[in-house]
Amino acid sequence: MRTTASPGTDEGPRPDGRTVAALPTCEPHREKMMRLNKTNRRGTVLKAAALVMAGSLALSACGQAENLEEDAEGGAAEESSAAGGENAAGGEAEIRFSWWGSDSRHQLNQDLIDAFMEEYPDITVVPDYTDWGGYWDKLATQTAGGDTPDVLMQEERYLREYADRGVLADLSEYDIDTSAMDEALVSSGELDGGLYGLATGVNVRVMMADPQIFEEAGVEMPDDTTWTWDDYHELMVQIAENTEGYGAQDYGFIEPDLAIWARQHGQALWDENGEIGVDAELVAELWERSLKIIEDGGAPPASEALEIDAGGPEQSLIATNRAAVARFWTNQLEAISSASGRDLEMLRYPGETEFERTGLFLKPAMAISMSAESEFPEASATFIDWMLNSEEAGKILLSDRGLPANEDVRAAILPELGEAEQYAAEFIEDVSADIEDAPAPPPVGAGEVAAILARYNEQVLFGQMEPLAAAEAFIEEATSVTG
């Protein structure tokens, strides 16, 4: 699919093999979907859109916050809404819904609440919101004081912590329909036989590629259903040799890259018990590959890569037309395409058919949970079910929480999404059939592991540690903060 330039996330994730044939499409859109279903199933080309998505959630007008405060009954504070008070619609059950986000998300959620209460007048939903920076401190205080919101947004790094403390209800005990959600995505919220979070939306880790640079280098685009990690190395070096730029922006790896590599080899970043599930030798091998591609000129040296990496996605090598490939999430396509001004394509990771199994996984953009101490659990469950499964809710939220986890809702809102988001939805649909399962939820303390991995990654790439020594130290330190 191609887009024409026009004015323009929370980062953030099908075994049944269902297709997207029923999704409504325009003619160019239908042509794109036909190309997706070809044997090689490479992502289609996307013309750069100038829709600036990357910062949209953080940049809505102050007036939205003021309007939201006026709408919330009982008088909302500037940073967080009131936690109680009668709603104009009245109601027999009153539940509190807590989330993080910017003014634009607050307004969307207020619209969501208003629509729900119109349909369910016996349930009053009270908004309780703040920004990301204050959300987790506030939630910790609320839960410690026995004042947990009835319905609350969750993030996978914190799910196990709150579930293990008995804060969250087992959603499988309530009438919440998950039949239209990918089983692997649903299982991402399962712990010890219970279901403590349901994904609101989904992302997939991808290799974004610039076909124009491949063409300029005289190198064919890879078949992403069969290419290997050795193919990746050779192609990136060839492109660097034949152009003035680099083949890849390969600055080592971050957690999701390591998770994919481990899964491809039958291991896991975290096992079902919340312990490190990857061995040091496998971690070291991935670092050795990064060092080799830098040594052979396919990727920039560590000092240059560190500076580029600090600039964010829109300053990445692929966004500035200086590399053919870079690793990102599907929900970052629009911002990177806009910055690049190029036709971009999304590819599966190398090695998906090379080793023991596939490594890609569906990442919950965020999850929704329920308090185990809710005074009105059935009303809370009704709200969650409506939020995840109704087309009305989907058309209010669109992709604010990732592309909807409910595949029927995703199909229903597709015509209302931008072309980059439509392409991402099709790509996710295409690769989902090959995804075998979901990674286990990270353990308590996993939020610290990203910084630990980044530190050792830098030491390896700057030659301060050998890969195996760094891998052993990483595993030991990650174990100490999560054990």
Note whether 123 and 379 are within 8 A (CB).
yes
d(CA 52, CA 422): 16
Q: Cβ distance 196 to 372 under 8 Å?
A: no
| Global confidence as pTM | 0.77
* Per-residue confidence (pLDDT) for residue 43, from 0 to 100: 37
Question: Which domains, ranges and CATH numbers included, belong to the chain?
Answer: 60-198+365-430 (3.40.190.10), 205-360+445-483 (3.40.190.10)
- Tens-level pLDDT at each residue, the chain (483 residues): 333 333 233 333 333 333 333 333 333 333 333 333 333 333 333 333 333 333 333 333 333 333 333 333 333 333 333 333 343 334 599 999 999 998 999 999 999 999 999 999 999 999 999 998 899 999 999 999 999 999 999 998 899 999 999 999 999 999 999 999 999 999 999 999 999 999 999 999 999 999 999 999 999 999 999 999 999 999 999 999 999 999 999 888 899 999 999 999 999 999 988 999 999 999 999 999 999 999 999 999 999 988 988 888 889 999 999 999 999 999 899 889 999 999 899 999 999 999 989 999 999 999 999 999 999 999 999 999 999 999 999 999 999 988 999 999 999 999 999 988 999 999 999 999 999 899 998 998 888 999 999 999 999 999 999 999 999 999 999 999 997
| Strand-pair partners of 367 | 154, 199
pLDDT of residue 310: 84
Q: Identity (one letter) of the amino acid at 393? A: A
pLDDT of residue 157: 87
Compute the CA torsion angle 403, 407, 411, 417 (nearest 10 deg): 0
Residue type, 390: S
